Amino acid sequence: MNDRLKPLTLTRDLLLYDTINPPGQERKCAEYLGKLLEDGGFQTAYYEYEESRTSLVARIEGKSDKAPICFTGHIDTVPLGAAHWSKDPFSGELDGDKIFGRGSTDMKGGVAAMVLAAIEISKYSRGEAGIEVVLTAGEEYGCVGAHHLAQTDGALGKAGAVVVGEPTSNYPLIGHKGLVWLEVRTSGVTAHGSMPEEGVNAIFKAGKVINKLEQFRFHESPHEFLGKPTLNVGTISGGLNINSVPDQTSICLDIRTIPGQENDEIKKRLQNYLGNEVEILTIVESRNVASDSSNEWIQEVFSIMTPYLHESPQPRGATYSTDACALTPAYNNPPTVILGPGEPDIAHKTDEFCYTSKLEESKEVYLEIAKRWCHL
């Protein structure tokens, strides 16, 4: 195989593109991948929800009416963080079996593997089903690119199954939790800091709210493989200067949901629990995804993965959200697997890395999944 078309080499090429979100600027990276897929015989289209926030959809047709299989991943990454990196985050430095860089695990390694698998499939004669490759911008903050594609007429075709290349250490997961991010505001009356009795302190109010949130519990029974819903207080801000009574605070919540929960109901319940002293606003929300573990295709993917894992996979889900929250419903809820070479406990960390052996493995896995779906 040409070095250009090896998973490690392509991953290094993708790491050269600074697609940190914000601001994202995924266009050049999307165009680079689009050219590779076009050269492999795919038809490509680009969709921007903002200037340079570019998603790519590439497809190759099958010879029957069987729905295509969709391989999807995102090309934006999170910021580097404040801590010093011991490796260059953009050059793809190698150290033993590891390739380092922002996005190596989450998830340019997975994107490289699935794109190369798709290109290899295109060298075969046309299969019974086609392939749709969806590479999104803006996943890291609310799956914006995927939602944009789902809401754009004609952007997405059909899919009978979906593979999401997020980091799972090549263990197939069959769902993920949903999320709802809420802002809880408390209000007061400003006054001079030397005369606090003349004002109403919004931070004191926020303190009581946070104490109540620490005691809050969901009553839903745990899902069979997604577990319990969770609530985390992620940020708090308030006050303009030290010598004034603060008149507003903002408390931001990260809630992860399971099937059976509705975001509007969660928001209503929290409003009742915290009382009318607070205002609750929705920042971002997305659906949970849970496929049937007994589905024939899910079981086939489990069978494919068994020799790689040296055990039969068990139904498991991801705590994090993925673009499947938008794409799976847009495709009319086909069975969905989250399966990628990255290490889930390394994502978003300083000195992020991916094992090179997992990169090669995932390309082989994607190829086998696609061959069986397309009957090649």
1: pLDDT strictly greater than 70: no
Residues 260 and 346 in one domain: no
Lowest mean pLDDT among 2-11, 100-109, 262-271: 2-11
Residues 287, 81: Cα–Cα separation, whole Å? 28
Residues 184 and 167 in one domain: no
Residues 278 and 293 in one domain: no
- For the stretch 132-186, pLDDT in tens is 999 999 999 889 999 999 999 999 999 999 999 999 999 999 999 999 999 999 9
Strand partners, 233: 253
Residues 218, 18: Cα–Cα separation, whole Å? 40
Residues 49 and 89 in one domain: yes
5: pLDDT strictly greater than 90: no
Q: What is the CATH number of the domain that holds 261?
A: 3.30.70.360
2: pLDDT strictly greater than 60: no
Taking CA atoms, 118 is separated from 97, 168, 300, 320, in Å, by: 24, 20, 19, 26
Q: What is the pLDDT of residue 326?
A: 98
Q: What is the CATH number of the domain that holds 86?
A: 3.40.630.10
- Please list the helix, strand and coil fractions of the chain in percent, rounded to the nearest 5, in that order: 35, 25, 40
Residues 318 and 333 in one domain: yes
Provide the domain limits for residue 43.
3-176+288-374
Residues 46 and 127 in one domain: yes
Residues 64 and 110 in one domain: yes
Closest among 340, 372, 330 to 106, alpha carbons compared? 340
Instruction: Decide which of 286, 303, 323 is a domain's last residue.
Output: 286
Residues 154 and 274 in one domain: no
Residues 326, 55: Cα–Cα separation, whole Å? 14
CA atoms within 13 A on the CB side of 252: 9
Residues 148, 241: Cα–Cα separation, whole Å? 40
- For the stretch 278-319, pLDDT in tens is 999 999 999 999 999 999 999 999 999 999 999 999 999 999
Do 344 and 169 contact (CB within 8 A), yes or no?
Answer: yes
Do 338 and 168 contact (CB within 8 A), yes or no?
Answer: yes
What total of structural domains would you count in the chain? 2
- For the stretch 55-105, pLDDT in tens is 999 999 999 999 999 999 999 999 999 999 999 999 999 999 999 999 999
Instruction: Decide which of 253, 286, 319 is a domain's last residue.
Output: 286
Q: What average pLDDT does the segment 324-347 reach? A: 98
Burial class (CB in 10 A: 0-12, 13-18, 19+), 374: buried
Closest among 136, 104, 174 to 341, alpha carbons compared? 104
Q: What is the pLDDT of residue 3?
A: 53
Residues 167 and 310 in one domain: yes
Instruction: Decide which of 286, 320, 351 is a domain's last residue.
Output: 286
Q: Cβ–Cβ contacts within 10 Å for residue 123, how many? A: 8
Residues 183, 338: Cα–Cα separation, whole Å? 29
Query: What are the structure tokens assigned to 135, written together?
Result: 């590479």
Residues 216 and 87 in one domain: no
Residues 282 and 223 in one domain: yes
Residues 29, 134: Cα–Cα separation, whole Å? 13
Residues 111, 134: Cα–Cα separation, whole Å? 10
Residues 209 and 256 in one domain: yes
